[in-house]
Amino acid sequence: MELWPSAFSLSTWVVTKKEVFLDRRVVVTGVGLITPLGIGVENTWPALCAGKSGISEITRFDTKNFDTKIAGEVKGFKPEDYLTKKDAKRTQLFIAYAVAASRMALEDSGLVIDSSNANRTGVLTGCGLGGLSIMEETQRVLDTKGPKRVTPFFIPMMIGNMAPGIVSIYLGAKGPNASVATACAAGTHAVGDSFEIIKRGAADVMITGGVEAVITPTCIAGFNAMKALSTRNDDPEKASRPFDRDRDGFIVGEGSGILILETLEGALERGARIYAEVCGYGMSGDGYHMSAPSPDGEGAARCIQAALDNAEISYNEVDYINAHGTSTQLNDLYETMAIKQVFKDKAYSVAISSTKSMTGHLLGGAGGIESVFTTLAINEDIIPPTINFDNPSEECDLDYVANTARRKKVEIAMSNSFGFGGTNASLVFRKYHND
């Protein structure tokens, strides 16, 4: 009896195994949202489609000396509704948001995590800044009371990977566990990386998305110092105006968007509802500047093209783009230019919207909620609007689904995220057809 396969049979087995894994299709079977527009998909999605704004005056701290006094705060959230009372007291808000959205998404999917699948179920989330508020609080304690009074929970409460860590503890997911910290592209990178993890066979299910909760003095002061934020304080709901001629900066938002990704085979076996299929993921680096996008959107264009290539589809097949659309002068201009580079004449007929006009910019969490929005657009055949698009400019002259949601059949959609450091990510989703 041959104990070891021959070199030929071994190589054939390896190739066959890889082909089986690389051919695995990945679908979205559950979604969860915590956003400035509401808690849960049932509250956020209708508000988004109605063109409502979640931007209001900051209540977390005194903004008297700040240039920007507005943000997209989550209202009415109670951590103890999703965590034990003890954990709620010693857990940062971004972790609580991630746990809440993950529990919602898992319940929505109908998936039960138990001993039969726990080791094949992973958690991967994106987060840009982590526990910034506990850093501020701890520095005050250190300065006024000394090092002996620093809480032993300081480090665990601060680091970004505690979001997927605590999610895995609460949900019992023991597969791949990691956090992505690629600034404003983090949530999209997390979803894309999870897609690849399932495709290559390292997991069968991934709980993934993005989270952020940094409406704090240092965050607002830092972005103000960069002249990145809107100062339209007298009219908060009109402040975030992507692609509009009068845009003057972005608005910081907070919350979490989580998706349950799993193999198509697994989803069909358990009769799961399928929102959409993940079919393409692209990444690129600008190699240009620490905060400004590369001129003419060159880096973003390569990222968008990489996602289309990975999905093996043409730009002519895309029905909707959920744009990064931050409401800053350079991002909106260069993203428009990038879309024109890749989509050519189709750029003028593809529907584009920036949901940041309503939620603000969740930084590392943006790609999470926007991936959920994109899958819901496909599932519901509704494209949410770009609100506050009142004054078109010569440079930003595409179809931004201005101010009113649009009923449209959406077969294929894309979501873009671009971050400081020139890190870019794009995802492609498509409608699942059981035929």
pLDDT attached to residue 294: 86
Three-state DSSP state, 236: helix
The reply to whether 11 falls in a domain is no
Q: Which of 49, 189, 219, 324 is catalytic?
A: 324
Verify whether residue 433 is a known catalytic residue: no
Verify whether residue 189 is a known catalytic residue: no
The reply to whether 10 falls in a domain is no
Q: In one letter, which amino acid is 253?
A: G
Closest CA relative to residue 213, chosen from 185, 176, 254, 245: 254
The reply to whether 112 falls in a domain is yes
Three-state DSSP state, 276: strand
The 10 Å Cβ neighbour count of residue 204 is: 19
pLDDT attached to residue 21: 55
Domain with residue 355: its CATH number is 3.40.47.10
Give the range of the structural domain holding residue 124, as residue numbers without chain letter.
Answer: 26-430
Helices marked H in 203-355 — which ranges? 217-225, 264-269, 298-311, 329-343
The reply to whether 6 falls in a domain is no
pLDDT attached to residue 24: 94
- Helices 298-311 and 329-343: crossing angle, nearest 10°? 40
> Rounded to 5 degrees, what angle do the CA atoms 82, 84, 88 make?
80
Domain count, the chain: 1
pLDDT attached to residue 434: 85
pLDDT attached to residue 22: 60
pLDDT attached to residue 7: 46
The reply to whether 4 falls in a domain is no
CA distance 135 to 145: 15
Owner of token pair 């926007």: 370
pLDDT attached to residue 4: 41
Q: Which of 189, 279, 303, 361 is catalytic?
A: 361
Q: Answer positive or negative: Cα dihedral of 105, 110, 115, 119.
A: negative
The reply to whether 299 falls in a domain is yes
Calculate the alpha carbon distances from 139 to 95, 119, 176 in Å: 20, 39, 33
Owner of token pair 């005194």: 62
Structure tokens at 244: 């509009």
Measured in Å, how far apart are the chain's first and last C-alpha atoms? 44
Structure tokens at 384: 């949410």
Three-state DSSP state, 430: strand
The reply to whether 3 falls in a domain is no
Per-residue model confidence as pLDDT tens digits over 16-73:
445 555 679 999 999 999 999 999 999 999 999 999 999 999 999 999 999 999 999 9
Is 411:379 a contact under the CB 8 Å cutoff?
A: no
Strand (E) or helix (H) holding 357: helix 356-359
Q: Which of 184, 219, 279, 396 is catalytic?
A: 184
Q: What is the DSSP letter of 28?
A: E
The reply to whether 341 falls in a domain is yes
> The pTM is what?
0.94
Given a cut of 70, the residues of the chain with pLDDT beneath it are 1-22
Q: Please state the length of the chain.
A: 435
Strand (E) or helix (H) holding 379: helix 366-380
